[in-house]
Structure 1
Amino acid sequence: MPLSAPASFAGKSRMSPQTAMIVVPLLLAGLSMLGPFSIDTPFPAFKKMGADLDVGTDQMQLVVSAYLLSFGLMSPFHGPLSDAIGRRPVILGGCAVFAVASIGCAFSTSLPMLLCFRVLQGLSAGGGVIVSRTVIRDVFEGPQAQRLMSRVMMIFGVAPAVAPIIGGFLLQVGPWPVIFWFLAGVGLLLVALVAVALPETHPVERRTPLAVGPLLGSLGEVSRSVRFHRVAWAAALSFGGQFLYIGSAPIFVIDLLGMGELDFWVFFIPMIAGVMIGAFISGRAAGRVSGRSLVTWSLLFAFGAAVLNVVLALLPTAAELPYAVIGPGLIAVGTAAAYPTLQLVLLDMFPRSRGASVSMFTFFALLLNGITAAVVAPWVTHSVFTLALGSAVLVLGGLLSWVWHLRRVPVPVPVGAPEPIEPTESL
């Protein structure tokens, strides 16, 4: 079923509804790509960066965790701020600061200096990555919102595959700082495109007061909801099983599989193909399959893939292609099929504070990913088997969180419709 933009949205954007439905998913996906581009593009340069900055492999992992932890710590505030002053100012400001921070990374001459600017990247990137998700739900409802969320994910899914390939190519034409000049250019391009093509989707009459009390109050309302935590951890933990591989990509590709700085595609292309297939399934299921059934079967598929991945890791061919990347690719199919619906469920729990809802979810997810990259990865990247086992544990945690949610909210709910509120269930 084709998507069409509401006339009011198309009018504000000075585009026809048909043009809006082509441009808007591309732009929102581009904003979401800031995250994976910031993480994955520098991967091929880790060895050269470590040599220039005189640090080892373990210390270079801080380049990933510094970004993720700062992104996670700031993520609770981007959404509520957009609830108060609108989506456009937060997106534009975040992308502009991200570009400045990327320039700082390019000029860094020591690891501490680089980490400071990576922290600034993480603090600012959420203005585009997080708030762009609320734009979809501001404008669209039900199956149409799920289709657009899935379409954005399909486009976004290309980023982790393309980013390290771009990083490897850039290393062939210049030293590692050229990667951060590229990221600065991406940030400035997004500023220009948002200024021209993306209208404000959060009208003044729906905004929350710009004051500390109401902003923190909306975050507190979300964070105290056990119902929110069940769904948020179902999404975060299941994706964590996939992200463990993404965050460990330099070790997985170079150390465990014995490949080079231009070979990241052998891992990322199967992984992102899985994301795109899963997102396609989600879009096709919208309006045809209930959201609960879609998430349940998708997470069961992801866990089955994780178990298969562990079995393959026990074989003598564990570190050979294609056996080493089959499991991660199939896990990505399951998590990507479930993710759009899980995000819409979270956004619909708090209709007047969607920014706060997506911010708190992103905070939990990014904090988990940061801990995974900084703490879990060093413990499970000794072999292909331990990495597969760690991934399976995380996917199982997501499935169990969703099963817990189903037991507490047993009434079937139409796709995209808010689930029954349980007023007594709070932390």
Structure 2
Amino acid sequence: MTIVPSARRASGQILIVLLGLLSMLGPFSNDTVLPNFPHIESHFGIGDVRMQQTLTLYFAPFAVMMLLHGTLSDAFGRRRIIVLGMAAYSAAAFVCATAQSFETLLLGRFLQGLSAGAGIVVGRAIVRDLYAGDAAQRALALLMIIFGIAPGVAPIIGGWIGHLFGWRAVFTFLTLLSAALCLLAFVCLPETLPPSRRTALSFGSIAKGFVQALRSARFVLLVCAFGFNFAGFFIYIVSAPVFGYRILGIEQTEFVWIFGPAIAGMIVGSYVSGQIAGRVNASGTVFIGYAFMAAAALFNVGYHVGHPAALPVSVLPIFVYTLGLGISMPSITVLVLDMMPERRGLASSMIGFAQSGFSAVLAGAVSHQVYENALTLALCSLVMGLLGFACWLGFLARLALRLRRARA
């Protein structure tokens, strides 16, 4: 991989692995908890609809803070924001682990949402600080491979911890994990944004950056494409307790049936993205990803129109969809970050906001409308993918228009 001259002190792939570990905290925040929903519901005497509030009150602040993590890192440096974010998350997870009421648990989840996104948002900016061109796509692909492991292993870990020690032990695990990541970041993470390249932190500066981003139709369409693409898969994450227990009939320790295909698809797709970087341009790579996502979503709907949910057929589309997602995401990420080279933290924040904002809507307003039926879940995934593809086509149309005007 080619590293830009201004950051030769970075430790190459070892640093990407570290960033990948830091980015895993977001998925771990939910995916370790999901298999334990029935036990938390029973403990506090609540229903599954109210239990969804633990997702909504996590994703809402998560989405808002996505807008600030990157912006703050543009002003104060990358390393400081990650270290503080991990420390704050550890305290929030401890609140959840010791909660004596459901309201306190919701408070802890809210605080987790405020801090969990620092790793992935700032991590993307660090990658683009260090790498340029095809090397950036390869580095982001490696980051996505590591990040993609989390949705697969987290529910297995969470399911077994909850099975053996109870649901509070899951949050204790998250407390210790984030504390370890905080220490690791403090000791090992280099600073990739020197003071000379930082932006002043003021309301005017922040507002100017967001206005600049939102005034670009190409930027907004590309960010929305990223968010909708991810939402087509994420509807299965937020619906996992009902989809797993009621529709597929799996046990608490068998959530690998849902998350296993997801992790495999994301890893394989990200690997393919890294391998074809430099051979296939970004646009071609994204179209390849959409081909897989479309095939998965259409098969998913077609099968469940005439058949009840069954293993393994009902989870095969998850593998194929995330395969396409893994192929397309690194290229889309590089395109977004390159549109704002002086504010990569802010650009990464916008990616995260779209991803987590759509996730919050899915968790709070959509999932309980569709999660009781495999067909409605499949249709929701198809609609999200189609919206993402429409945004991608809109981006290409705006880009072509801009190029024609430049030649005129």
TM normalised by structure 2 equals: 0.96
The answer as to 2:187 corresponding to 1:217 is no
Give 1:206-355 correspondences, 5 Å limit: 206-316=197-307, 318-355=308-345
Question: Does the 8 A contact of 1:44 with 1:164 survive in 2?
Answer: yes
Per the TM alignment, residue 383 of structure 1 is displaced from its structure 2 partner at its CA by 0.8
Find the aligned partners of 2:236 and 2:372 in 1 and give their Cα distance.
13
Find the aligned partners of 1:269 and 1:10 in 2 and give their Cα distance.
37
Question: Does the 8 A contact of 1:77 with 1:359 survive in 2?
Answer: yes
Per the TM alignment, residue 108 of structure 1 is displaced from its structure 2 partner at its CA by 0.7
Question: Does the 8 A contact of 2:217 with 2:398 survive in 1?
Answer: no
Give 3-state SS (helix, strand or coil) of 2:73's partner: helix
Find the aligned partners of 1:86 and 1:305 in 2 and give their Cα distance.
41
2:73 corresponding residue in structure 1: 82
Find the aligned partners of 1:276 and 1:364 in 2 and give their Cα distance.
22
The answer as to 2:163 corresponding to 1:172 is yes
2:95 corresponding residue in structure 1: 104
Find the aligned partners of 2:114 and 2:17 in 1 and give their Cα distance.
23
Residues 8, 350 of structure 1: CA spacing in aligned structure 2 closer, same or farther, 3 A cutoff? closer
Per the TM alignment, residue 119 of structure 1 is displaced from its structure 2 partner at its CA by 0.6
Partner amino acid for 2:397?
Answer: R
Partner amino acid for 2:371?
Answer: T
In structure 2, stretches of 5+ residues that fail to align are none
Q: Deviations over 1:316-375 (max 9, x none)?
A: 3x3111111011111111111100111111101011111111112211221111101111
Per the TM alignment, residue 297 of structure 1 is displaced from its structure 2 partner at its CA by 2.3
Residues 372, 77 of structure 1: CA spacing in aligned structure 2 closer, same or farther, 3 A cutoff? same
The answer as to 2:374 corresponding to 1:384 is yes
Partner amino acid for 1:32?
Answer: S
Between 336-345 and 296-305, the greater mean CA deviation after superposition: 296-305
In structure 1, stretches of 5+ residues that fail to align are 14-19, 412-418
2:53 corresponding residue in structure 1: 62
Partner amino acid for 2:143?
Answer: V
Partner amino acid for 1:404?
Answer: G
Give 3-state SS (helix, strand or coil) of 2:400's partner: coil
Percent identity over paired residues: 37
Find the aligned partners of 1:332 and 1:226 in 2 and give their Cα distance.
27
The partner residue of 2:359 within 363, 366, 369 is 369
2:350 corresponding residue in structure 1: 360
2:16 corresponding residue in structure 1: 25
Give 3-state SS (helix, strand or coil) of 2:384's partner: helix
Per the TM alignment, residue 131 of structure 1 is displaced from its structure 2 partner at its CA by 0.8
Partner amino acid for 1:37?
Answer: F
Question: Does the 8 A contact of 1:40 with 1:163 survive in 2?
Answer: yes
Question: Does the 8 A contact of 2:239 with 2:367 survive in 1?
Answer: yes
The answer as to 2:384 corresponding to 1:409 is no
**Which of the pair is proportionally richer in helix?**
2
Q: Deviations over 1:27-64 (max 9, x none)?
A: 11111101100010011111111111111111111111
TM normalised by structure 1 equals: 0.92
Residues 256, 275 of structure 1: CA spacing in aligned structure 2 closer, same or farther, 3 A cutoff? same
Give 3-state SS (helix, strand or coil) of 2:52's partner: helix
Partner amino acid for 2:377?
Answer: L
Question: Does the 8 A contact of 1:295 with 1:341 survive in 2?
Answer: yes
Question: Does the 8 A contact of 1:223 with 1:360 survive in 2?
Answer: no
Per the TM alignment, residue 10 of structure 1 is displaced from its structure 2 partner at its CA by 5.0
Give 3-state SS (helix, strand or coil) of 2:306's partner: coil
Question: Does the 8 A contact of 2:228 with 2:385 survive in 1?
Answer: yes
Per the TM alignment, residue 222 of structure 1 is displaced from its structure 2 partner at its CA by 1.1
Per the TM alignment, residue 112 of structure 1 is displaced from its structure 2 partner at its CA by 1.2
Find the aligned partners of 2:381 and 2:183 in 1 and give their Cα distance.
39
2:38 corresponding residue in structure 1: 47
Question: Does the 8 A contact of 2:3 with 2:132 survive in 1?
Answer: no
Per the TM alignment, residue 186 of structure 1 is displaced from its structure 2 partner at its CA by 1.3
Q: Deviations over 1:85-107 (max 9, x none)?
A: 10011111101000000000001
Question: Does the 8 A contact of 1:76 with 1:219 survive in 2?
Answer: no
Per the TM alignment, residue 311 of structure 1 is displaced from its structure 2 partner at its CA by 1.1
Question: Does the 8 A contact of 2:39 with 2:167 survive in 1?
Answer: yes
Partner amino acid for 1:50?
Answer: E
Find the aligned partners of 1:54 and 1:148 in 2 and give their Cα distance.
46
Find the aligned partners of 1:211 and 1:401 in 2 and give their Cα distance.
32
Per the TM alignment, residue 299 of structure 1 is displaced from its structure 2 partner at its CA by 1.2
Question: Does the 8 A contact of 1:381 with 1:387 survive in 2?
Answer: yes
Question: Does the 8 A contact of 1:92 with 1:191 survive in 2?
Answer: yes
Find the aligned partners of 1:85 and 1:75 in 2 and give their Cα distance.
16
2:184 corresponding residue in structure 1: 193
Find the aligned partners of 1:228 and 1:9 in 2 and give their Cα distance.
27
2:390 corresponding residue in structure 1: 400
Question: Does the 8 A contact of 2:258 with 2:315 survive in 1?
Answer: yes
Per the TM alignment, residue 301 of structure 1 is displaced from its structure 2 partner at its CA by 2.2
Find the aligned partners of 2:84 and 2:119 in 1 and give their Cα distance.
9
Find the aligned partners of 2:165 and 2:56 in 1 and give their Cα distance.
25
Question: Does the 8 A contact of 1:102 with 1:117 survive in 2?
Answer: yes
Find the aligned partners of 1:420 and 1:191 in 2 and give their Cα distance.
45
Per the TM alignment, residue 225 of structure 1 is displaced from its structure 2 partner at its CA by 1.7
Partner amino acid for 1:370?
Answer: A
Aligned residues: 406
Residues 247, 26 of structure 1: CA spacing in aligned structure 2 closer, same or farther, 3 A cutoff? same
Find the aligned partners of 2:403 and 2:129 in 1 and give their Cα distance.
21
The answer as to 2:107 corresponding to 1:116 is yes
Q: Deviations over 1:260-301 (max 9, x none)?
A: 111100111111111111101110111110101111221132
Find the aligned partners of 1:234 and 1:93 in 2 and give their Cα distance.
30
Question: Does the 8 A contact of 1:4 with 1:21 survive in 2?
Answer: no
Give 3-state SS (helix, strand or coil) of 1:326's partner: helix
Partner amino acid for 1:291?
Answer: A
